Chain A
């Protein structure tokens, strides 16, 4: 059974204080690992897809990396508008569905 564990559950940062969110996974043949951002009262919004170990993708202050067992979402010099819940999901080649972690709620204080 595919499993996704995200840590920490909650993270509070000062504006400009860089940090990382972790997503550990077990999956029978990784088709893709996905990062989503979810604002309160909204549906998740796609950020990145990673397909193979060593792959990295960047978007503004966010960079996602992937190893064979985990993915990191690095946030550089965060701003208050980066405050949200970040969800990680994996999809296996032999499954028609994605498995989500419980998310990390990031709060960035000015």
Chain B
């Protein structure tokens, strides 16, 4: 199993550009989420999905869109990039077994710089 994969690893954008960060998992996990991590800080939840076709907002959703058409993929779209979106973005997945382990497995991250 590859686990959780993210592409690209690094990206530089100009203000106003749009792009999609890709995330895929091969563990058949129901739950997927996107976080951003700024220097010296923990993870802040952007959007999450509890299954294909279902998404919801997290703590910091503004400026980002998501969709979940398959169990495996959960792309994050930046609509019009701003310097405040410079951050490291992590995708995670979890089996969300009812009453059981809820461990999240993280991807390696995408380092985004917006000029």
Asked if B50 is at the interface of the complex by the 8 Å CB criterion, the answer is yes
**Count of A-B contacts judged by CB separation below 8 Å:** 55
Asked if B103 is at the interface of the complex by the 8 Å CB criterion, the answer is yes
Kindly state the separation between the CA atoms of A15 and B41 in the bound complex, as whole angstroms: 26
Cβ contact of B58, chosen from A43, A97, A102, A103, cutoff 8 A? A97
Asked if A44 is at the interface of the complex by the 8 Å CB criterion, the answer is yes
Whether B40 pairs with A97 at a CB distance below 8 angstroms is no
Classify the secondary structure of A's interface with B: strand
Whether B50 pairs with A102 at a CB distance below 8 angstroms is no
Kindly state the separation between the CA atoms of A60 and B33 in the bound complex, as whole angstroms: 29
Whether B48 pairs with A100 at a CB distance below 8 angstroms is no
* Complex contacts, A44 vs chain B, CB 8 Å: 43, 90, 104, 106
B: interface residue count bin: 20 to 34
Asked if B107 is at the interface of the complex by the 8 Å CB criterion, the answer is yes
Q: Name, among B4, B41, B58, B102, the residue most crowded by chain A CB atoms within 10 Å (CB to CB).
A: B102
Query: Given known contacts A91-B102, A98-B104, what 13 new A-B pairs fall within 8 Å (CB)?
Result: A4-B42, A9-B40, A42-B108, A44-B90, A44-B106, A49-B101, A49-B103, A97-B33, A97-B45, A97-B58, A100-B44, A101-B42, A103-B42
What 5 A-B pairs have minimum CB-CB distances, sorted nearest first? A43-B106, A100-B42, A100-B43, A102-B42, A46-B103
